[in-house]
Chains A and B, each alone.
Chain A
Amino acid sequence: MMRSVPYPVVSVRNLSKAYPLRTWWGGKGDVFRAVHDVSFDIAPGETLGLVGESGSGKSTIGRAVTMLNPPTSGTVAFEGTDLATLSPRALRRARSRIQTVFQDPYAALNPRMSVGAYVAEAFRLHRPDMGAAERRAAVAHLFERVGLDPAFMGRFPHQFSGGQRQRICIARAIALKPSFIVADEPIAALDVSIQAQVVNLLQDLQADLGLSYLFISHDLRMVRYLCQRVAVLWRGRIVELAESDRLYEDPRHPYTRRLLAAVPLPDPEAERARLSARARDDLADGLPGDLVEVAPGHWVADP
C-alpha cells in the first residue's frame, strides 16, 4: 500500500501505539489507542505533512518513527532497515541520521550550556574522532548555514529570540548530516514575521542536503505550501492521504472536509463569505475504517 515511491527513506507499516488505562483502584483496565494501524512512506527529498487536531496522534507518530517512544506494534524501516531489528549500537548510529525539531526551542535547549557547546554535543556523542578545533570549525560552519553569526557561539539560550533559538536547534539537527527530520510544530511558537524565515531555512536545507521531512503542523495553509503530500489524522488513524493540492482541492473524507472548511482565509471578502456559509457536516461518529485508493496516490478511509 502507498508504495508511490521506489526507495523510501522512511517506511512505516501498520504502526500502532497503545497506552494502558488504569482504573482508579490501580487494576488493569482497557487500552487507549493513540495511534492505530498507520502506514506511509516518505521519499528522499520529500516533505510529508501530518495534520489533525490535538489528540489525533500526530506527535505520537513523530516520536514513534524516531524511536524516541517506540511503537507498540508495526514497523518503522529507515533506509530499508527495520529499526526494531537493530542492535543498540546500530540503532544509535541510525538515529544520528534521524533528527527531530520541536515546537518549543527553549525547552529543547539546555539553559546552562552555551549554544555552541549544545550544537557541538552532537559531534562529541557521535563523532569521537573529531578534535576540538575541528569540532569548533564545524559548529561555526553550521551557525553560518542556519543564518546565525558564529560570534554568538559562546552565548546562552536566554540571550536569543525565539526564531534564533529554533535556528540553533536546526543547526544541531543537521550536524550529523541526517537524511530525515521530524519537524513537530516547528513554527507554532514563532511570531508570524519569523515563521517565514524558518520555513525558508527548512526548504533551503532540504534543497542543499536532500533532506526528507515529516512536517507535523496545525497550520493548514503552511502545510499545503510546504508539503508534497499530506496525511490527515483523525482519532489515531489516517483518514486521507494524497498529493497536497489534490487533497486541498478535492477532499473526500468528511473529516478532511470539516478541517479544511475551518481554516480562516486572509482575505476579508472571502473570509466573511466563508463565515456566513458555515454548514453542518456529515461526519459519522465512531472509528474510521481502512484506506481505499480512490485515485492514483489518493487514499481515503472508508467512512
Chain B
Amino acid sequence: MSQPLLDVRDLRVTFDTEGGTVHAVNGVSYALNEGETLGVVGESGSGKSVHVLAMLGLIPRPPGRIAGGQVLFRGRDLLALPERELRRVRGGEIGFVFQDPMSSLNPGMTVAAQIVEPLRIHLGLDRRAARARARELLDLVRIPNAAGRLDQYPHEFSGGQRQRVMIAIGLACRPKLLIADEATTALDVTVQAEIIALVQELKRELGMAIIWITHDLGVVAGISDTVQVMYAGRILERGPVDDIFRDPRNAYTLGLLRSLPDLSGGRAGRRRLQQIDGSPPDMRRPPAGDPFAPRNAYATARCRAEMPPLVQAEGAAPGHLVAAWYDLPARLAEERAR
C-alpha cells in the first residue's frame, strides 16, 4: 500500500488551566488516504476538534501543549515544521472550514482580499490572476453575482453565504485535504444540503481527501467512507461507514445510534428515546480505564481498570477497529434471548 496522505501517530494534547491539566487528546492514531472522506463524530470534549487544530498548529500555546506524537502529512511531520513552513501548508495543501464564519472571516477586509491573499501567498499568483480566480471560486460555491460581490464585506453576506465564502477560501488553493469542523452545523438544513452537495462535487473534481467533523450522524452517513467515533480524547471505534452503522462494536457508538428518534411505525407504537445516562468525564482527571465505562451498562471490571487497545473487531469488516474489553454483539444477542 502506498504512503497515506495523513498519518497521525499517538497524538497527545493538553491544556494547562487553573484547575489543573486538561488531557484533551490522549493518544490518537489513524491514517487517511488520498481522496478518502473521514467522518469524525463525538461530543464536546471528545477531542475531535482539538486534535485537528493541534495538527494545524492552531491551538494557543500556552495554555495548549502538544504532549507527544507525530502528524505526517505527505511524509512531513507537521508538528515539527517551523511556523513559517506550516503556514505554507495551512490554507495551501490543507484547507479548513470552521463552524463560525463570522469569527473566521476578517470583518474589516473585503471578501476579495480574503480570498486573494492565500492565492498570492500559496500559489504565487499576481493580483489580477488572483482576483479572477477569486471570482471563479465564488461562482463555484454558488454565490449569485460573484463579480459584483467581491468587494463587499462579510456583514453584507447572509450566514449561509458567509459559510460558502469560508468554503471558497478553504478550497482556494486546490487542497489535497479539506478539514471541516461543524462547517454546516449553524446553517439551515436546506443550506446545509446545498453545501454538502457542493463539497461532494468538488471532491470528485479535485480528488481531495476530507476530514468532516460533526455531531450529525445523518451527515456522516451520507458523505463518509470511514467513520471515527471519539470520546474523552480517544478513538473508541473506527471503520467503514456501512459497517459502523450496521454493526457497531463499541457501546458508545451504539448509544449514539440508539439515541436518535426511531420514526418507524405510527406515533402510538413509538418507543421512548434511549438515552445515554450521565455526563462525559472531567478531563482534568481522566479515568484510568475505558473513559466511557461509567456510563456503559456493558462495562466490566477490566473496563474500569484498564484502557482497551484499538484493534480489529472480530468478524467485522477489515479496518473496523474497536476499543472495548466487552463483546458487544454477544451481549446484545444475550439481551435479545432474554
Contact = CB atoms under 8 A, between A and B. Distances in A.
B196 A275 contact: yes
Interface in B220-237: 221-224
Interface in A269-301: 269-272, 274-275, 278
A203 B272 contact: yes
A191 B214 CA distance: 11
A192 B259 contact: yes
B60 interface: no
B189 A196 contact: no
A48 to B, nearest CB: 14
B43 A53 contact: no
Contacts of B202: none
Interface stretch (A6-14, A111-119, A168-176, A218-226): A218-226
Interface in A159-197: 161-164, 191-197
Contact of A264 (B222, B262, B270, B279): B222
Contact of B266 (A197, A226, A245): A245
A259 B188 CA distance: 9
Contacts of A161: 279-280
B241 A268 contact: yes
Contacts of A248: 263
B261 A264 contact: no
Contact of A222 (B221, B223, B261, B272): B261
Given A197-B277, A259-B189, A266-B245, A271 B259 contact: no
Contact of A274 (B44, B222, B242, B274): B222
Contacts of B197: 275, 278
Contacts of A200: 272-273, 275
A209 interface: no
Given A193-B276, A197-B277, A266 B217 contact: yes
B274 A163 contact: no
B215 A275 contact: no
Contacts of A220: 189
Instruction: Give the most central of B192, B215, B219, B275: most A CB within 10 Å.
Output: B275
Given A259-B189, A275-B222, A264 B216 contact: yes
Interface string A207-244: 00000000000101110111010000000000000001
A193 B46 CA distance: 12
A85 interface: no
B221 A267 contact: yes
B260 interface: yes
Contacts of B259: 192-193, 195-196
B279 A164 contact: yes
A297 to B, nearest CB: 14
A200 B280 CA distance: 19
Interface in B266-288: 266-267, 270, 272-277, 279-280
A196 B274 contact: yes
Instruction: Give the most central of B43, B215, B273: most A CB within 10 Å.
Output: B273
A271 B257 CA distance: 15
A84 interface: no
A21 to B, nearest CB: 17
Nearest to B262: A225
Contacts of B262: 225
Given A191-B43, A218-B188, A228-B267, A264 B218 contact: yes
Given A192-B43, A203-B272, A264-B218, A224 B263 contact: yes
A23 to B, nearest CB: 18
Contacts of B242: 268-269
B188 A53 contact: yes
A199 interface: yes
Interface string B251-265: 000011101111100
B222 A225 contact: no
Nearest to A161: B279
Given A203-B272, A221-B263, A267-B221, A193 B189 contact: no
Contacts of B266: 245
A281 to B, nearest CB: 10
Contact of B221 (A53, A196, A271): A271
A87 interface: no
A258 interface: yes
A228 B222 CA distance: 29
A152 to B, nearest CB: 13
Contacts of B308: none
A271 B189 contact: no
B193 interface: yes
A262 B187 CA distance: 12
B145 interface: no
Given A192-B43, A221-B260, A262 B190 contact: yes
B159 interface: yes
Contacts of B277: 197
B222 A191 contact: no
A268 B222 contact: yes
Instruction: Give the most central of A258, A262, A270: most B CB within 10 Å.
Output: A262
A265 interface: yes
Given A199-B273, A222-B261, A163 B279 contact: yes
5 residue pairs, one from A and one from B, having the closest CB atoms: A264-B218, A225-B261, A271-B222, A191-B43, A196-B275
Given A192-B217, A224-B263, A270-B221, 13 more contacts: A53-B189, A53-B191, A191-B215, A192-B215, A193-B276, A220-B189, A225-B263, A266-B218, A266-B260, A267-B245, A268-B221, A268-B222, A268-B241
5 contacts: A218-B188, A259-B190, A262-B193, A263-B218, A266-B221
